[in-house]
Structure 1
């Protein structure tokens, strides 16, 4: 007899918790991107708090420092999640990082940008296991036919956390709390989430006491063919050599890396772009910066519904769905990104529309590469996510540094640029960080990354479960 899944059940509760966990994690990441505008411009925020005269290069160090630590703990974090379960690693990842968020204003006061940079690095170290933990939990809870919708819903928490942070940052920075309140807000909501997740979150359906027997049977029957039973999984060794020689895995790794460059270029630099090119103050800056991510969040639900509808009605296969939505998410934003490089200060409305399109449509990629790790190897979904995230976060680290280099070192960059253009004019009105031509290079690079990443995914990406997902069945030495 076919097991019927309840319309709303325990698996949905777990997904909501993962959604909120991703939101808390990203609120902690996005807080500096919006707060740093107020920290470096006393006139645009609360004048009672200190202003810091940091250079663009120093700012790029601060915005990228989180990823220095984040890169280091990706693979170790995924192994811990694989061994001990995703709940404990996710809980520690977000709550320990939240404590450091609460200490951020004090660290700046005591040690200026150097101590802030060190603190952000430590936050990255703690959060290194975040998404490997989420992948590990999803692989135990979500059947394949619901993976596109529910899995992507969980990761839409990234956009929600970003929207929330950008929406409230302008008000907080201009209130009696000042820019320190931005960090206190991100830290407090993360601690509250951790308290709830400790009591309600679980690693597997077998640990959940509040679910119905019908739902438990539905999940166990659907996942039994792809994931090893819990007692076998505990002794399953990671087939490192087979993973590293797998073409489908390398494809998803490279796709994720190119996505990270484009996503984090926009995530960390939109507030600065709004201020330097469009001349927006901190309050309107925050609202305008949040608009693309609000659209991202809304479109994610649309894409989830559409993907689920197409797959359940058998209009398209899972493989076609992954590549279709990945293409929408990667290639559609290319045109608005390139056009952003041609905006002027008096075109802020058009620039905002282009940003909304570029960022929001990018959400479709989450239904492509982002859950492809579990397609390839449900038993090692968290491990694959950790490895791919490690590579992706090299890009996340380099992207803000590249912006700092391009926007600061104008003479070198544009000497080459204008030489190529046969010196048609000589630096007329060149203002270093406010020159739109510098941002044009930034957006061209991000567009190129998106194009190459999706091309690889279309040509070589797969959704078939790989043989090395079952290492014990191959040999005792795997």
Structure 2
């Protein structure tokens, strides 16, 4: 009887339009969390230019490259453990711990560089990478707990575009800060902003609707019932379920997701770390020296993110289109379009500055569509283990951010040789083609049987079938 009443209230709550609720506040907090996190992630790329103009920091190109890559050395370490810890202790705890330590390290960065030179700075950046490695798995765990299935694509994207916004703000402001208050101010302000966010998140953030003191009873029931309708009930609390590691790595949909994630990361970091070098040496356009041009690709990415969310909401109303179709559609837009534009960029002639910058901005910007594709697909496959799945795929994918630049160094022996750069672009395009091809072929958007190991035949005599995809969800 009570279940029927709850379902009636839930339907009324949904039909009347839930408006802005606590789940939206939580996503806004996550937006600003990624904003400050990415500000701290990219600040060194600008600050190091001002630093190396000083005699005490006159480092070689090899040392600068080593220091700039050090963040990712630590970043890949905590990906998988973060998903496990977020399930055990709550995503709020792991997010706050990671950003608190990272913020303090940013504030201390100028002192560390002064006392220990590039070696201590390298160590600090590795530690910052370790701290930020917890974010994406924890975010997925939290989004899985807070966001109803129909709103995953939109609210998840709103949370994750904080990364683009933080990059824009830092790239656009760092040069001004360095010229007005010295390079150290870049780290003081970005680290201080992180500390302020941690205080705000401590006050309002919550790992789940049941842990929130600010959510209404109606919204809590709405979220919980929507998620129960999708996933069904588990025999144990989600945080105490055994982790089906073997099932993860023998699941074609998840392996296809990993392939798409690797392709996206390879293409994205090839663009953002190597294209400025290409444009300076081949096309004679130094976009790194121009804060506006440096931030333009991220600005286009931010704006197009909202366009794609709007489009997904329109498609969501089409009952004939499944969630799987929508995931694959947006992932194809976010991978195949940059693939074509990236190849075109390799054939732009010197002097065609506007065309080159336009292609670069569109290539980066349109990749935002993939945020509504593979990026949120972990939660589709397994709400219970979304953070662990994100940790696995993000950890593997971010190895690409280390290998990619190294391969470019091997292929491009002459920075001014356009033909060598085209090889780099064709390799990135190949990653997009294969990664999205596997995602379209083998990807799914339905809950997998291993989401509930206690009901799976691997742990019990009663097998659990996959949940049928709901056609009204985008």
Look up the SS of the partner of 2:120 in the other structure: helix
CA shift digits 1:114-162 (9 cap, x unpaired): 3222221111111121111000000111111111111111111111111
Task: Please say if residues 60 and 401 of structure 1, whose CA atoms lie closer than 8 Å, have aligned partners that are also in contact.
Answer: no
Structure 1 residue 107: deviation in Å?
2.8
Q: CA deviation at 1:400?
A: 2.8
| Cα distance in 2 for residues equivalent to 1:195 and 1:256 | 32
Q: Quote the Cα distance in structure 2 between the aligned partners of 1:139 and 1:466.
A: 15
Number of the residue aligned with 2:89: 84
1:443–1:227 Cα change, 3 Å: farther
Question: 1:17-48: CA deviations, max 9, x gaps?
Answer: 111112222222222233334444x3xxxxx7
Alignment of 1:376-391 (within 5 A): 376-391=381-396
CA distance in 2, matches of 1:277, 1:109: 36
Higher mean Cα deviation, 342-351 or 12-21? 342-351
Select 1:314's aligned residue among 313, 319, 322: 319
| C-alpha distance 363-181 of structure 1, shift in aligned 2 (>3 A) | same
Query: Residue 52 of structure 1: which of 53, 58, 63 is its match?
Result: 58
Give the secondary-structure state (helix, strand or coil) at the position aligned to 2:290. Answer: helix
Does 100-109 or 120-129 show the bigger shift? 100-109
Asked whether the 8 Å contact 1:37–1:282 carries over to 2, the reply is no
Aligned with 1:351 (options 356, 364, 379): 356
Contact 1:3 1:218 in 2 (8 A): no
Give the Cα separation in 2 of the matches to 1:99 and 1:25: 12
Unaligned runs of 5+ in 2: 1-7, 461-474
Equivalent position of 1:266 in the other structure:
271
Instruction: Supply the distance in 1 between the matched residues of 2:88 and 2:335 (Cα, whole angstroms).
Output: 34
Q: 1:344 to 1:123 in 2, by over 3 A?
A: farther
What is aligned with 1:413?
A: none
**Distance in 2, Cα, partners of 1:439 & 1:180:** 35
Hey, what does 2:468 align to over in structure 1?
none
How far, CA to CA, are the matches of 2:227 and 2:164 in structure 1? 28
Aligned equivalent of 1:12: 24
Q: Are 1:335 and 2:330 an aligned pair?
A: no
Q: CA deviation at 1:243?
A: 1.4
Aligned mates of 1:52, 1:207 — CA distance in 2: 51
Pairing of 1:446-457 with structure 2 (within 5 A): 446-457=428-439
Out of 224-233 and 299-308, give the one that drifted further.
Answer: 224-233
Counterpart for residue 181 of structure 1: 185
Shift of 1:69: 1.2
CA distance in 1, matches of 2:131, 2:307: 32
**SS at structure 1 position matched to 2:361:** helix
**Shift of residue 227, structure 1, vs aligned partner:** 6.7
Summarize deviations over 1:188-241 as a string: whole Å, max 9, x none: 221111111111110111122222222112111101232757971232111111
Q: State the alpha-carbon separation in 2 of the partners of residues 181 and 344 from structure 1.
A: 39
CA distance in 2 between counterparts of 1:308 and 1:375 reads 17
Distance 1:194 1:245, change over 3 A: same
Asked if structure 2 preserves the Cα contact closer than 8 Å seen for 1:333 and 1:359, the reply is yes
Secondary structure, counterpart of 1:346 in structure 2:
coil
Equivalent pair of 2:78/2:133 in contact (CA under 8 Å): yes
* In 1, Cα distance between equivalents of 2:320 and 2:361: 29
* TM superposition score normalised by structure 2: 0.88
Deviations 1:258-285 (A, max 9, x none): 1111112223345545554555668852
Does the 8 Å CA contact 1:3/1:214 hold for their aligned counterparts? no
**Mapped contact 2:85–2:94 kept (Cα < 8 A):** yes
The total of aligned residue pairs comes to 447
Instruction: Select the residue among 242, 246, 249 that pairs with 2:251.
Output: 246
**Contact 1:38/1:173 (8 A) holds in 2:** yes
2:472 paired with 1:468:
no
Residue 58 to residue 372, structure 1, CA distance change in 2 (3 Å):
same
Give the equivalent residue in structure 1 for 2:46. Answer: 34
Alignment deviations for residues 377-414 of structure 1 (CA, whole Å, 9 cap, x no partner): 0111001001111111111221233334444xx1xxxx
State the distance in 1 between where 2:279 and 2:200 align: 36
Does the 8 A contact of 1:78 with 1:383 survive in 2?
yes
Cα RMSD (Å): 2.3
* d(CA) in 1 for partners of 2:349, 2:122: 33
Closer, same or farther: CA 270–170 of 1 in aligned 2, 3 Å: farther
What does residue range 173-212 of structure 1 map to in structure 2 within 5 Å?
Answer: 173-177=178-182, 179-212=183-216
Q: Which whole-Å CA distance do the structure 2 matches of 1:404 and 1:194 have between them?
A: 39
Q: Which residue of 1 aligns with 2:331?
A: 326
Secondary structure of 2:237's aligned partner? helix
2:4 is matched with: none
Distance 1:339 1:221 in 2: 48
Counterpart of 1:175 in 2: which secondary structure?
helix
SS in 2 for 1:58: helix
Aligned counterparts of 1:3 and 1:452: Cα–Cα separation in 2? 45
2:291 is aligned with 1:286:
yes
